[in-house]
Amino acid sequence: MEISIAMGVALVLGILPLVVSLLWWWNDIWYGLPASLRCSSSGTKLPPGYMGFPFIGDLLSFLWYFKFLRKPDDYIDSKRRR
């Protein structure tokens, strides 16, 4: 049975969001849950925001502000507001 290119693209585009959401969920469980348990036992709180992906973090938004928009001050202000 031969899979057409359109079917292959549709399959990849359908699976890609699922894989990304599963990785995001796993990252929250792997890094966020132990950190929140440690903080709740000592009475401290985590800073606002999300954990992001390790080694990637806010790289995409950083590149967006610095390379494409060429407004590094807006990036810094958005992080400061958090």
Q: Count structural domains, the chain.
A: 2
Same domain, 40 and 59: no
Q: Which residue has the tokens 């806010």?
A: 58
Same domain, 64 and 38: no
Residue 45 has phi, psi (to 5 degrees) of: -120, 155
Give tens-digit pLDDT for 26-79.
Answer: 877 887 777 777 766 666 666 666 666 656 767 778 888 888 888 888 888 887
CA 50 – CA 40 distance, rounded (Å): 17
Helix%, strand%, coil% for the chain, nearest 5: 70, 0, 30
Same domain, 58 and 76: yes
Same domain, 21 and 37: yes
Residue 26 has phi, psi (to 5 degrees) of: -65, -40
Same domain, 15 and 34: yes
Same domain, 31 and 67: no
**What pLDDT is attached to residue 52?**
62
Same domain, 6 and 36: yes
Same domain, 42 and 64: no
CA dihedral 26, 48, 55, 80 (to 10 degrees): 160
Same domain, 11 and 36: yes
Residue 31 belongs to what domain range?
A: 1-47
The vertex-47 CA angle with 54 and 38, nearest 5°, equals: 75
